[in-house]
Amino acid sequence: MRKRFEQQFVLGRLPINETPIPKGMRGGALPKLAVALKEIYVTPKWNERVFEILESKITAGKKRTGRPGMDLWQIFVLAQVRLVQNISYDELYHLANYDSLIRQLMGVESGFGYEKYQFEYQNIFDNVSLLDDETVRELNQVILEFGHEVFKKKEEAALCLKTDSFVVESNVHFPTDYNLLWDSARKCLDIAGKFQTKYPSIPGWRKMGEWRRQLKNAMRAVGKASSSGGKGKEERIKRAAKYYLTKARALQEKLLDSRFPMVDKSDALLITILIRYMEFLDKFIDQLDRRILQEEKIPHEEKLFSIFEEYTEWISKGKLHPNVELGKMLAITTDQYNLIVDYRVMEAQSDSE
């Protein structure tokens, strides 16, 4: 059973409506968010709409019995903090347990000398991740209307909108076909290593470390040949790439010939992941062969820039620094009150589109 919010009458527990908000000019976005959250909490008109959206997404169709989960208000606060601060769940976990401003807004902060309520990391992740993009958009609309009620002097005043885009960068290294081939190979070896640890009797994988060492050295040799100059550079690159491809294809054949056991669900999951990485292995073997040995230009639409964050795009906005960015383009529309009216993740689109 999950409740909207029920602040426990615990000795020393600090009430939400008495949360002190920092008034410094350099506090960043968090104090401004805290002001809005506090106002939404104490105003029935707005908190009722927020709770209706959260209930329709999280509690609809579920029994009103059982162990109580995280309160809807706490989920809402944590979700807004994560979005506004653009932080990871690790950083959100830290704020939820050690930032007194956020904790009092959540209704869990206690005064000095009293026992502190602590959230588990998995509890935060499981609950905040319940809010999908559609739900976040609905909540954003409520917050937008709340902001206009606060800032707009006249109800009939027209909105002045502007749209701009920026790149949300992915956490990836600079992509080349030869280092992406190494990423694919090492992940295949990681999965094979997990099977080797779980089932020591599996034949053929005793020299796991040697496979890893040879492939990594071959990848570095291609990179070194590509970055060096001098006479015979093209021949050195081809020679290094040919050896690298020979080792990668040998690994590919070994993986295809291996018969990894599938005893339980975890084995099935590992095999599914292995198949995906083997597809990447095959893709980059093909691209490296075509680009260097066959001297073919790889079409841009065939390229992949990360095997871990596959949505990553190669974005060039005509800037001098940086001239290239790796990530996804995000377009946002704001009004004269600096409120975000709309946003869109752009799929292989330019600003003009």
Domain CATH code at residue 188: 1.20.120
The confidence score (pLDDT) of residue 66 equals: 47
Task: State the residue for tokens 């040998």.
Answer: 250
Q: Give domain status of residue 347, yes or no.
A: yes
Q: How far is CA 97 from CA 66, 78, 89, 94, 117, in A?
A: 25, 11, 12, 5, 8
Q: Give domain status of residue 8, yes or no.
A: no
Let me know whether 21 and 133 are in one domain: yes
Any alpha helices (H) in the chain, and if so which ranges? 29-42, 44-54, 72-85, 89-98, 100-106, 121-128, 133-151, 177-198, 208-227, 233-257, 265-288
The confidence score (pLDDT) of residue 61 equals: 61
Structural domain containing residue 22: 16-154
Let me know whether 198 and 112 are in one domain: no
Let me know whether 28 and 67 are in one domain: yes
**95, 121, 154 - which closes a domain:** 154
Cα 228-211-171 angle, rounded to 5 deg: 60
Let me know whether 296 and 150 are in one domain: no
User: What's the rounded Cα separation, in Å, for the pair 110 and 11?
Assistant: 8
Q: Give domain status of residue 6, yes or no.
A: no
Residue ranges of the chain whose pLDDT lies below 50: 1, 65-66
Let me know whether 145 and 213 are in one domain: no
What is the C-alpha radius of gyration for the chain, rounded to an integer number of angstroms? 27
Q: Give domain status of residue 254, yes or no.
A: yes
Let me know whether 253 and 312 are in one domain: no
Let me know whether 136 and 67 are in one domain: yes
The confidence score (pLDDT) of residue 320 equals: 67
Let me know whether 164 and 185 are in one domain: no
Asked whether the beta carbons of 228 and 163 are under 8 A apart, the reply is no
Residue 163 per-residue DSSP state: E
Can you tell me whether residue 110 is helix, strand or coil?
A: strand
Asked whether the beta carbons of 132 and 140 are under 8 A apart, the reply is no
DSSP E strands, the chain = 162-169, 313-315, 325-334, 340-346
Let me know whether 78 and 110 are in one domain: yes
Residue 56 per-residue DSSP state: I
Q: Give domain status of residue 26, yes or no.
A: yes
Let me know whether 287 and 340 are in one domain: no
The pTM is what? 0.73
Number of domains in the chain: 3
Q: Give domain status of residue 2, yes or no.
A: no
Question: Among candidates 205, 191, 288, which has minimal Cα distance to 254?
Answer: 205
User: What's the rounded Cα separation, in Å, for the pair 280 and 168?
Assistant: 24
The confidence score (pLDDT) of residue 1 equals: 46
The confidence score (pLDDT) of residue 167 equals: 87
Let me know whether 335 and 298 are in one domain: no
Residue type, 81: V
**90, 120, 154 - which closes a domain:** 154
The confidence score (pLDDT) of residue 229 equals: 81
**154, 185, 208 - which closes a domain:** 154
Let me know whether 31 and 120 are in one domain: yes
Q: Give domain status of residue 4, yes or no.
A: no
Q: Give domain status of residue 228, yes or no.
A: yes
